[in-house]
């Protein structure tokens, strides 16, 4: 746990020392109008990520989990709403929960037959395991009758762009490209989810994200860390790069799981979310050394 302790000390020291600066920087205040002088940790993290992950196919946002401040980034227009795929599933689940006293069903995923990305299916799943394995079949069933009007109030509370009135059903779980959300807003929505971790629905979702890191679609994050201890959600969405690929993989990784200090959001061009998790894991390993 030495790396985590060192990370915490650098992060706290840097945030206490942060002051307004004049020059352009890769480190921004939580609300972005004011530039901050990079903290020690942010400078080290940005330099490491720039040096070791220079491939322009990789975009990233690194946030302080306590304040939501952006510590380092390389992401063209992170405030522009884009499709984020299964990263929206936790928020669709919360909206469903509010309509159903937070009583979540179990469901049998039969793979292709029930519209899942995994051809053989996941078998019996509950909310935790559906989050962990990003089960499309579960979320198709969960959101079948969900409307934008039911989701929008929750989206606003979590700082997300609300879906347009025409978005309906599984599209509200990221199955399709109709609900557009900015990456920076999505990252901060996950931090708001952390702040609500003791509330109904949030507990199950965060348990699913922990399971994702242990044995689900986010497994490659935990595998890369010297002390596996992360919360992970992956997603795959339509490519929005100028040079179009088959899709883009997204990852939100928060570490340490019990006392979160940082959130890393990664987009990798042309791969699925589970593959992007490998890149996210490597990035976290490098900045925590």
Q: In what order do the strands lie in the sheet with 262-269?
A: 70-74, 58-64, 262-269, 248-255, 231-237
Rg (CA), the chain: 18
Sequence ranges of the domains in the chain? 2-287
Q: How far apart are CA 168 and CA 66, in angstroms?
A: 33
Hey, which residues does 265 pair with through a beta bridge?
61, 252
Report the alpha-carbon distance of residue 264 to residue 31 in Å, rounded: 18
What is the Cα–Cα distance from 74 to 261, expressed in whole angstroms?
20
What pLDDT, on a 0 to 100 scale, did the predictor assign at position 39? 65
Give CA–CA dist 28/30, Å, rounded.
6
Phi and psi for 72 in degrees, rounded to 5? -160, 150
Q: Which pair of tokens denotes residue 244?
A: 């179009």
Q: What is the pLDDT along the chain (289 residues), one digit of tens a residue?
A: 444 444 443 443 343 333 333 333 333 333 332 334 456 777 788 788 888 888 888 999 999 998 999 988 999 999 999 999 999 999 999 999 999 999 999 999 999 999 999 999 999 999 999 999 999 999 999 999 999 999 999 999 999 999 999 999 999 999 999 999 999 999 999 999 999 999 999 999 999 999 999 999 999 999 999 887 899 999 999 888 777 667 899 999 999 998 898 999 999 999 999 999 999 999 999 987 7
245: Cβ contacts below 8 Å, ≥ 6 apart: 239, 269, 270
pTM of the model: 0.86
Distance, CA of 7 to CA of 119 (rounded, Å): 41
Given this model, what pLDDT does residue 222 score?
94
For position 161, what pLDDT does the model report? 98
Dihedral sign, Cα of residue 277, residue 255, residue 30, residue 191: positive
Pick the CATH number of 2-287 from 3.40.710.10, 3.65.10.10, 3.40.50.300, 1.10.1740.10: 3.40.710.10
């Amino acid at each position: 746990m030495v790396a985590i302790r060192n990370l915490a000390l650098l992060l706290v020291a840097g945030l206490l020392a942060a002051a307004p600066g004049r020059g352009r920087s890769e480190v921004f205040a939580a609300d972005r109008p004011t530039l901050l002088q990079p903290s020690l940790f942010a400078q080290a993290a940005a330099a490491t990520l720039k040096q070791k992950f220079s491939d322009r196919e990789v975009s990233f946002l690194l946030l302080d989990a306590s304040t939501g401040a952006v510590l380092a980034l390389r992401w063209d227009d992170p405030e522009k709403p884009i499709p984020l795929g299964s990263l929206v599933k936790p928020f669709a689940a919360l909206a469903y929960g509010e309509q159903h006293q937070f009583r979540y069903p179990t469901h049998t995923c039969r793979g292709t037959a029930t519209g899942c990305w995994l051809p053989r299916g996941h078998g019996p799943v509950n909310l935790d395991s559906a989050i962990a394995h990003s089960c499309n079949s579960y979320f198709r069933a969960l959101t079948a009758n969900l409307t934008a009007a039911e989701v929008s109030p929750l989206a606003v509370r979590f700082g997300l762009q609300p879906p347009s009135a025409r978005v309906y059903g599984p599209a509200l779980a990221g199955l399709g490209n109709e609900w557009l959300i900015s990456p920076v807003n999505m990252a901060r929505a996950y931090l708001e989810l952390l702040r609500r971790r003791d509330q109904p629905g949030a507990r199950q979702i965060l348990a699913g994200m922990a399971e994702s890191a242990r044995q689900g679609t986010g497994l490659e994050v935990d595998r890369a860390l010297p002390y596996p201890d992360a919360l992970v959600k992956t997603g795959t969405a339509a490519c929005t790069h100028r040079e179009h690929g088959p899709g883009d993989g997204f990852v939100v990784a928060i570490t340490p799981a019990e006392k979160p200090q940082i959130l890393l959001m990664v987009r990798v061009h042309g791969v699925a979310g589970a593959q992007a998790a490998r890149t996210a894991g490597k990035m976290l390993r490098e900045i925590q050394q």
